[in-house]
Structure 1
Amino acid sequence: MERIAVFCSASQDIDDIYAEKARELGAWMGDNGKCLVYGGTSSGLMEVIAAEAKAHGAMVMGVVPTIVEERGKTSDICDVVFRTDNLSDRKDVMLRESEVAVALPGGVGTLDEIFTVMASATIGYHHKQVILYNINGFWNGVIAFLDGLEQQNFAHSPLKNYYKVANSFEELVEMIK
């Protein structure tokens, strides 16, 4: 996998462990010749991973909705900027430009991105998976929810066909390879 979409928080007010793990992933991406495809915002984990990836030689592709650009929150780290009309277009471009998606901790925007990738895979638009990077058990509630959907027959096929869970950096790297 050469082009990796990373979904993550734009929040500045989160535990430092998440920034540490984002830096670790960004450094690995640069050191291993990967390209980061991300939301292009200049705050939170988005800016952290982009700065580290860039510092280690990765190409950085930001996908920026008009409203983010109008608010002056586009990162200046990006080598390539895709401008989109809205969040739906942003997700489409990120999915098109990447081979795999990794979800670091994030909020409703990150959930939206995860579920968009999964939902479009369930009906055959692509065969990409989302890797939930489960730092400190962050995604445990979502994983339990997805398991509950299957148990209650709200999923037409096993949802694990559309996502994986990495509980450590080593597991994440193996899944990306």
Structure 2
Amino acid sequence: MKIAVFCSANEHIDPDFFSLTDEFGKWMAQNHHDLIFGGTNQGLMNCIAKAMHQGGGRVIGVVPSLVEKGGRMSDYIDVHYPTDNLSDRKDLMINQCDIVVALPGGVGSLDEIFSVAASNSIGYHSKKVILYNMKGFWNALIALMDDLDSKGMIRGNWHNMIEVANNIDELTQLIQQES
């Protein structure tokens, strides 16, 4: 499978997020999945690319020109797709992947998660997002989604578009169900 991973490009975050991301990248490589990611050499993005690359997995980097010009492109990319901007990057990643996993991330990751979910909700595709809820990172978002649902703001069951994995075993099981 081609797994798109949305995640933080920040370095100064909980160190446990790095070790859990490394573990996931190694699992992806061992199970012959391809990684599609945003292509930066920072934070969890570079961490998962490095784990995949070192494990013999194929790393597909979808890299905006601004990232390349700024010298922030990962050294672990096997296949490089340059893009003009973040919107193009997001569209290409979504179109190329089979499933999306969201590791801890910020505004960019939220944008990407909801782009996948919104386009799924109106029938553009049936791809799911799995929130890897490391150390409860996504708990506030899960509560928000439940609140929106209770107020009738989400058509259908949001869990049909966004699933939650609280540990690596749950995550790998959800991925295997989709393959």
Q: Same fold (TM over 0.5)?
A: yes
Q: Which residue of 2 aligns with 1:119?
A: 118
Distance 2:31 2:156 in 1: 34
Q: Which residue of 2 aligns with 1:12?
A: 11
Distance 2:108 2:12 in 1: 16
- Partner amino acid for 2:164? V
Q: Which residue of 2 aligns with 1:81?
A: 80
Q: Which residue of 2 aligns with 1:150?
A: 149
How large is the RMSD of aligned CA atoms in angstroms? 0.7
- Partner amino acid for 1:72? G
TM-score (norm 1): 0.98
Q: CA deviation at 1:72?
A: 1.1
Q: Which residue of 2 aligns with 1:160?
A: 159
- Partner amino acid for 2:170? E
Q: Which residue of 2 aligns with 1:95?
A: 94
- Calculate percent identity across the aligned residue pairs: 49
Per-residue deviation, residues 133-162 of structure 1 (Å, max 9, x unmatched): 001100000001011111111112221110
Q: Which residue of 1 aligns with 2:47?
A: 48
Per-residue deviation, residues 102-129 of structure 1 (Å, max 9, x unmatched): 0000111111110110011011110000
1:134-149 matches, within 5 Å, as 134-149=133-148
State the 4+ residue runs in structure 1 displaced beyond 6 angstroms: none
**Which moved further from structure 2: 153-162 or 108-117?**
153-162
Distance 1:122 1:29 in 2: 27
- What stretches of structure 2 of length at least 5 have no aligned partner? none
Distance 1:17 1:76 in 2: 23
Distance 1:121 1:85 in 2: 24
- Partner amino acid for 1:38? F
- What stretches of structure 1 of length at least 5 have no aligned partner? none
Distance 1:136 1:52 in 2: 20
Distance 2:155 2:30 in 1: 40
- Partner amino acid for 2:56? G
Q: Which residue of 2 aligns with 1:26?
A: 25
Q: Which residue of 2 aligns with 1:67?
A: 66
Distance 2:35 2:14 in 1: 23
